[in-house]
């Protein structure tokens, strides 16, 4: 990050008390950016961010009631997220919990799975790493680099594609527990492949080609492709619940196996609810909140 970016983030951190503080900073030495504040004057919120590289910067604290979570069209954030302590803490909390769940899950997977060549093992591992990398690049997009940075934003979209498809393969692997028909499993397999290619590729092209990203109508269409993955996960979860009911009616399950499959049914219900919630965020144009919430929901669904 450039020096002015570091200084701006430090100023934003000082504003967390609820007042917009004007900070005069001296003593920046070399690349270490040893920022020594010699004077701090607090003023009511209502200013705006002036030249971040100047020695005096005034930060606006945007009220939560008027916070712009998104907009009807391509993102217009040229630098970092508008500052509000609640919003910053909320997003940071979601990211921190996501990292914790993913790292704990990776350790759990390596110590639990004895068959490490199975699709279930590798799909969980792929989805977990994709969630971690998606979260890292979201941090870069929201707080470090301009939102218009195609390289970072495009990389974030690629990892999101692995997150979507990886979790679909996790659900597909779980279906093997309750579906005996190879024909049904084959149909589901090719449906996941077709969805992954047809829906992920347009989203990546939308980010990597600036002319597409600046088109509000195309942005709306490509954003809607994410809904397809939510619908697919809802369908896969519903199929699991249906076949579990058919499977359990036979009465041949051991009590322990029945309890395990029942917990998986509950997990599928949580998946359906979370997918419905993130889909609603698209329709109400809360793109920023959904961007921060999505890796968290996938980490929770994967952990379940």
Tell me the fold of 85-303: Rhopdopsin 7-helix transmembrane proteins (1.20.1070)
- Give tens-digit pLDDT for 108-163: 998 888 878 888 899 999 999 999 999 999 888 888 877 667 788 788 888 988 99
Q: What is the 3-state secondary structure (H, E, C) of the chain?
A: CCHHHHHHHHHHHHHHHCCEEEEEEECCCHHHCCCEEEEEEEECCCCCCCCCCCCEECCCECCHHHCCCCCCCCCCCCCCCCECHHHHHHHHHHHHHHHHHHHHHHHHHHHHCCCCCCHHHHHHHHHHHHHHHHHHHHHHHHHHCCCCCHHHHHHHHHHHHHHHHHHHHHHHHHHCCCCCCHHHHHHHHHHHHHHHHHHHHHHHHHHHCHHHHCCHHHHHHHHHHHHHHHHHHHHHHHHHHHHHHHHHHCCCCCHHHHHHHHHHHHHHHHHHHHHHHHHHHHHCCCHHHHHHHHHHHHHHHHHC
Boundaries of every domain in the chain: 3-61, 85-303
pLDDT of residue 240: 86
Average model confidence (pLDDT) across the chain: 74
Give the pTM: 0.73
């Amino acid at each position: 990050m450039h020096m002015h970016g570091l200084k701006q983030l430090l100023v934003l951190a000082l504003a967390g008390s609820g007042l917009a503080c004007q900070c005069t900073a001296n003593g920046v030495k070399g690349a270490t950016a040893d920022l020594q504040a010699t004077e701090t004057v607090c003023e009511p919120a209502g200013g705006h961010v002036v030249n971040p590289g100047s020695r005096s910067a005034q930060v606006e604290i945007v009220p939560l009631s008027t916070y712009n979570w998104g907009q009807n069209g391509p993102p217009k954030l040229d630098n970092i997220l508008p500052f509000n302590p609640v919003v910053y803490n909320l997003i940071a909390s979601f990211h921190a919990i996501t990292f914790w769940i993913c790292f704990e899950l990776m350790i759990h997977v390596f110590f639990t799975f004895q068959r490490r060549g199975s699709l279930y093992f590798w799909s969980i591992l792929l989805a977990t790493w994709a969630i971690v990398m998606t979260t890292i690049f979201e941090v870069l997009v929201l707080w470090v680099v301009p939102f218009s940075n195609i390289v970072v934003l495009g990389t974030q979209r690629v990892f999101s594609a692995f997150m979507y498809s990886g979790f679909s393969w996790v659900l597909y692997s779980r279906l093997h527990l309750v579906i005996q028909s190879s024909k049904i499993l084959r149909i589901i397999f090719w449906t996941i492949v077709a969805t992954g290619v047809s829906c992920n590729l347009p989203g990546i092209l939308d980010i990597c080609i600036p002319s597409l990203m600046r088109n509000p109508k195309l942005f709306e269409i490509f954003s809607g492709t994410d809904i397809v993955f939510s619908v697919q996960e809802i369908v896969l979860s519903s199929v699991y619940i249906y076949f579990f009911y058919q499977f359990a009616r036979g009465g041949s399950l051991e009590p322990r196996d029945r309890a395990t499959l029942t917990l998986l049914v509950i997990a599928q219900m949580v998946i359906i609810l979370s997918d419905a919630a993130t889909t609603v965020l698209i329709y109400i144009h809360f793109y920023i909140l959904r961007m921060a919430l999505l890796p968290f929901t996938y980490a929770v669904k994967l952990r379940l």
